[in-house]
A and B are shown apart, each in its own frame.
Chain A
């Protein structure tokens, strides 16, 4: 019995590993990219960058998501997303930032930041990370390790629920975010690895941080391979 199993074991071992990691990484990247797309639309709607009547409701994540039906805006976001998809698949992105800028003053008024952590491939690295944390605080370290582990076996529905919770929060955030006055436009920034391929439409930029901005950490979600955190910073009303 042992001998019969001998040949199959290592291969199945490898296969299992590869199956879990590659598929979930790819699927997860897609899911995260899609989340970004809806986030952009939602923020554009909620913050009134484009008029409300330009948006139409789409059922997604168990919510009515408002998606721009303006051709130009759609094309613009589509262009961003097509590149974002590639980068996500390659695991090149650590942050996606949507900056809302006052058209007249050029001042950055609001900054929505989505931090992306890739958990999948370096299961060990995440672990070593937690081990490092454990260096300073063993309790937290083991807790983090446990959390990482549970994140792995989340169901699709649970992830969708987490995402829906984020969108609810984004929607609710209009209650505390200052009124945007005047015409606003938006920019999409990406924090990518230095070795990423960069198409011509994309160029280096500063972080477009908001000086003395107020920051509010919103919910995040995680898949087997990715962990996304949401942070909104905004200029305090004078």
Chain B
């Protein structure tokens, strides 16, 4: 304790502690010395003790506080452990403030004291404890100073608040401010501390008058049921305005945030917009109704140029002339058989020839059509031929009586004909703007006849991943691509392309379809399906694109146009790593064919 007196003179402390003591005892003019005296406990002890006594009588809590802080083991009869913890919690702020001060204090104090007292720390702690029972709170300060221990420091706060409490009892609330006005020497820090103490004191007084448990109980009661009593639920009476239209959230969630074209940008794959290769195709007849280009499964391209059929080997880049017709007619259609060994050739006379390409010899001629055969399609051994008359014949190429079926539906030239890959359905399109979908088992009448197109239908393509899906494209006046469910006959989608649709090809690898255009765009357009977003439009040719066909690996598209050129586009290029074999073959072909090459 003697040390305490020695170490005390610290301004901030002075303020702090003296203010606290002043809170207890008004008339004091705080000064370091007095504080020291205070610590030594002499002049004020009696008063304080009397206060403590009062507290002890009137509010057991205070005694409890003392006990709590000094000896954790000690329990009060009225209180369970809870009051102690209460104090710890409630005191939080003031304690902090005090510690701020105290730490200063200890800085000076501990140096001297620790050396002496640290070994006997326990002892010192105990001593004040014993004394505290005789209500010498001041001893705690010394104890606290040297043994910076949470319990003790909170005890200080308790002691302080306890005192303030007494004071408050004596005075009205205004007494507080009066008391604080007396604390003239307190620094701002001390002031803050005092403020906290005051709050704390109110706090404590508010709950310590009745037993804290009672208060807690009451409050919880109030919380439980008081809410309904104290508050009323109010509703804004006017009805909310009507929504301008019914809302389907599904639609809203699926709504693209940006215009479709922009939003597809991130999904858009890179598509080469330059042709891989350009070949001359001199003499290519500029006739929308003919089908003069086909690519075989053996990777050979057949093209009909006037009276000749040329075969270009994509593997080797070599060209050979397969046939030349008699001068009175011309080639109106070419079509490879499924195995790539034979090519069907339709002539202007209505004759259909079948040629063995490897041997370069004509195998047979099939007569029957009176008019030019503008379109053909293989289904295994069946060759379907569409003629200008609007008739479609099925030829079984193995037998002498080759004509096995006559499909009557179109009233004008048939220019589009496509078997489904499984051979179960056949789609035909004609200059009568009709699309006919035939069931291979009953060819007497078309299964469906679609009249939606407003112009000739040449472009037909079966979806490779959805057997029931057929895409059809109309001519100049129509410009639409329609998508059909060929099982139900329903039109499932449509695109207005803005120009004549001359051919349609589905990508086997991407969910895309490419359309070739005539007037005015002369372009290739790649559409995502089913979003129908145009991924890219390639200005492909100088005049209308007449024919297109896909390579057997599905990556390359060949287009023949009225500008008498044949161009190859790598629009469905597989991602790197897949299909390296075909890439190698095409690159070897490229080495040979780096520049334009003329067939013939």
A105, CB-defined interface residue at 8 Å:
no
Query: In the docked arrangement, what's the CA distance between A189 and B231, Å?
Result: 12
Given contacts A131-B207, A142-B89, A174-B253, contact A192 B82 (CB under 8 A): no
Q: Once the chains bind, are A9 and B88 in contact (CB under 8 Å)? A: no
Given contacts A6-B184, A52-B255, A203-B237, contact A132 B231 (CB under 8 A): no
List of A residues within 8 angstroms of B242 by Cβ: 185
Q: Which of chain A's residues has its CB closest to B184's CB? A: A2
B236, CB-defined interface residue at 8 Å:
yes
Nearest CB in chain B: distance from A109 CB, A: 12
Taking a contact as CB atoms closer than 8 A, the residue among A9, A129, A183 that contacts B180 in the complex is A9
Given contacts A49-B243, A128-B206, contact A194 B234 (CB under 8 A): no
A179, CB-defined interface residue at 8 Å:
yes
Query: In the docked arrangement, what's the CA distance between A151 and B203, Å?
Result: 20
List of A residues within 8 angstroms of B93 by Cβ: 127, 145, 149
Annotate B214-251 by CB proximity to A: 1 below 8 A, 0 otherwise: 01100110000001011111111111111111111110
List of A residues within 8 angstroms of B249 by Cβ: 47-48, 179-180
A236, CB-defined interface residue at 8 Å:
no
Q: Once the chains bind, are A185 and B234 in contact (CB under 8 Å)? A: no
List of A residues within 8 angstroms of B240 by Cβ: 49, 73, 76, 185-187
Annotate B242-286 by CB proximity to A: 1 below 8 A, 0 otherwise: 111111111011010000000000000000000000000000000
Q: Give the residues from 1 to 39 in chain A that come closer than 8 angstroms, CB to CB, to chain B.
A: 1-3, 5-7, 9-10, 13, 17
List of B residues within 8 angstroms of A179 by Cβ: 249-250
B287, CB-defined interface residue at 8 Å:
no
B51, CB-defined interface residue at 8 Å:
no
List of A residues within 8 angstroms of B533 by Cβ: none
Q: Give the residues from 38 to 62 in chain A that come closer than 8 angstroms, CB to CB, to chain B.
A: 47-52, 54
B112, CB-defined interface residue at 8 Å:
no
Annotate B188-213 by CB proximity to A: 1 below 8 A, 0 otherwise: 00010001000100110011000011
List of B residues within 8 angstroms of A158 by Cβ: none
List of B residues within 8 angstroms of A17 by Cβ: 195
List of A residues within 8 angstroms of B245 by Cβ: 51
Taking a contact as CB atoms closer than 8 A, the residue among A123, A135, A185 that contacts B82 in the complex is A135
Given contacts A51-B247, A187-B235, A206-B233, contact A128 B203 (CB under 8 A): yes
List of A residues within 8 angstroms of B185 by Cβ: 1-2
Q: Once the chains bind, are A48 and B247 in contact (CB under 8 Å)? A: yes
Nearest CB in chain B: distance from A93 CB, A: 9
B85, CB-defined interface residue at 8 Å:
yes
Query: In the docked arrangement, what's the CA distance between A10 and B216, Å?
Result: 33
Q: Once the chains bind, are B231 and A5 in contact (CB under 8 Å)? A: no
Given contacts A2-B184, A135-B216, A174-B253, contact A94 B231 (CB under 8 A): yes
Nearest CB in chain A: distance from B524 CB, A: 35
B177, CB-defined interface residue at 8 Å:
yes
Q: Which of chain A's residues has its CB closest to B202's CB? A: A124
Total count of chain B residues near the partner, CB < 8 A: 58
Q: Once the chains bind, are B206 and A142 in contact (CB under 8 Å)? A: no
Number of inter-chain CB pairs below 8 Å: 184
Taking a contact as CB atoms closer than 8 A, the residue among B90, B191, B215, B227 that contacts A134 in the complex is B90
Query: In the docked arrangement, what's the CA distance between A1 and B15, Å?
Result: 12
B92, CB-defined interface residue at 8 Å:
yes
Nearest CB in chain A: distance from B100 CB, A: 15
Nearest CB in chain A: distance from B249 CB, A: 4
Query: In the docked arrangement, what's the CA distance between A72 and B242, Å?
Result: 9
Q: Once the chains bind, are B88 and A142 in contact (CB under 8 Å)? A: yes
A138, CB-defined interface residue at 8 Å:
yes
A156, CB-defined interface residue at 8 Å:
no
Given contacts A9-B181, A192-B231, contact A141 B89 (CB under 8 A): yes
Query: In the docked arrangement, what's the CA distance between A140 and B93, Å?
Result: 16
Given contacts A13-B195, A193-B230, contact A127 B180 (CB under 8 A): no
The B interface, classified by DSSP as helix, strand, loop or mixed, is: helix
Q: Which of chain A's residues has its CB closest to B88's CB? A: A138
Q: Once the chains bind, are A145 and B89 in contact (CB under 8 Å)? A: yes
A107, CB-defined interface residue at 8 Å:
no
Q: Once the chains bind, are B233 and A189 in contact (CB under 8 Å)? A: yes
Taking a contact as CB atoms closer than 8 A, the residue among B29, B92, B234, B246 that contacts A142 in the complex is B92
Q: Once the chains bind, are B88 and A134 in contact (CB under 8 Å)? A: yes
Q: Once the chains bind, are B199 and A124 in contact (CB under 8 Å)? A: yes
Nearest CB in chain A: distance from B153 CB, A: 14
Q: Once the chains bind, are B246 and A146 in contact (CB under 8 Å)? A: no
Nearest CB in chain A: distance from B426 CB, A: 43
List of A residues within 8 angstroms of B184 by Cβ: 2-3, 5-6, 9
Given contacts A127-B203, A142-B92, A174-B253, contact A194 B236 (CB under 8 A): no
Q: Which of chain A's residues has its CB closest to B230's CB? A: A194
Taking a contact as CB atoms closer than 8 A, the residue among A80, A123, A133, A207 that contacts B199 in the complex is A123
Taking a contact as CB atoms closer than 8 A, the residue among A135, A145, A203 that contacts B234 in the complex is A203
Q: Once the chains bind, are A80 and B92 in contact (CB under 8 Å)? A: no
Query: In the docked arrangement, what's the CA distance between A7 and B178, Å?
Result: 11
Q: Which of chain A's residues has its CB closest to B235's CB? A: A205
B117, CB-defined interface residue at 8 Å:
no
Q: Which of chain A's residues has its CB closest to B199's CB? A: A124
Query: In the docked arrangement, what's the CA distance between A102 and B287, Å?
Result: 62
A201, CB-defined interface residue at 8 Å:
yes
Query: In the docked arrangement, what's the CA distance between A2 and B86, Å?
Result: 35
Nearest CB in chain B: distance from A73 CB, A: 5
List of A residues within 8 angstroms of B180 by Cβ: 9-10, 13
Query: In the docked arrangement, what's the CA distance between A203 and B234, Å?
Result: 5
Q: Once the chains bind, are A202 and B237 in contact (CB under 8 Å)? A: yes
Query: In the docked arrangement, what's the CA distance between A13 and B237, Å?
Result: 45
A130, CB-defined interface residue at 8 Å:
yes
Q: Give the residues from 129 to 179 in chain A that come closer than 8 angstroms, CB to CB, to chain B.
A: 129-136, 138, 141-142, 145-146, 149, 174, 179
Nearest CB in chain B: distance from A130 CB, A: 6
Taking a contact as CB atoms closer than 8 A, the residue among B177, B206, B238 that contacts A10 in the complex is B177
Q: Once the chains bind, are B86 and A198 in contact (CB under 8 Å)? A: no
Query: In the docked arrangement, what's the CA distance between A49 and B242, Å?
Result: 9
Given contacts A48-B249, A50-B247, A51-B245, contact A202 B233 (CB under 8 A): no
Nearest CB in chain A: distance from B246 CB, A: 6
Q: Which of chain B's residues has its CB closest to A192's CB? A: B234
List of A residues within 8 angstroms of B86 by Cβ: 131, 134-135, 138, 141
Query: In the docked arrangement, what's the CA distance between A17 and B194, Å?
Result: 13
A214, CB-defined interface residue at 8 Å:
no
A190, CB-defined interface residue at 8 Å:
yes
Annotate A88-105 by CB proximity to B: 1 below 8 A, 0 otherwise: 000000100000000000
Nearest CB in chain B: distance from A182 CB, A: 8
List of B residues within 8 angstroms of A13 by Cβ: 180, 191, 195
List of B residues within 8 angstroms of A193 by Cβ: 230-232
Which residues of A approach B to under 8 Å, CB–CB?
1-3, 5-7, 9-10, 13, 17, 47-52, 54, 70, 72-73, 76, 79-80, 83, 94, 123-124, 127-136, 138, 141-142, 145-146, 149, 174, 179-180, 183, 185-194, 196, 198, 201-208
Which residues of B approach A to under 8 Å, CB–CB?
29-30, 82, 84-86, 88-90, 92-93, 177, 180-186, 191, 195, 199, 202-203, 206-207, 212-213, 215-216, 219-220, 227, 229-250, 252-253, 255
Q: Which 5 A-B pairs have the closest CB atoms?
A: A138-B85, A205-B235, A134-B89, A2-B184, A2-B185
Q: Taking A51-B252, A134-B90 as given, write out 17 further A-B residue pairs in contact, using a Cβ cutoff of 8 Å, ordered by the A residue number.
A: A52-B252, A76-B238, A128-B206, A135-B82, A141-B89, A142-B92, A145-B90, A179-B249, A183-B246, A185-B240, A187-B236, A190-B233, A190-B235, A194-B231, A203-B235, A205-B233, A205-B235
User: What would be 28 A-B contacts, judged by CB atoms less than 8 Å apart?
Assistant: A1-B185, A7-B181, A9-B184, A52-B255, A70-B244, A76-B238, A76-B240, A79-B238, A124-B206, A127-B93, A131-B203, A132-B215, A132-B219, A133-B89, A134-B82, A134-B89, A135-B82, A135-B86, A142-B92, A186-B240, A188-B236, A191-B234, A192-B231, A198-B234, A201-B237, A202-B236, A204-B232, A208-B235
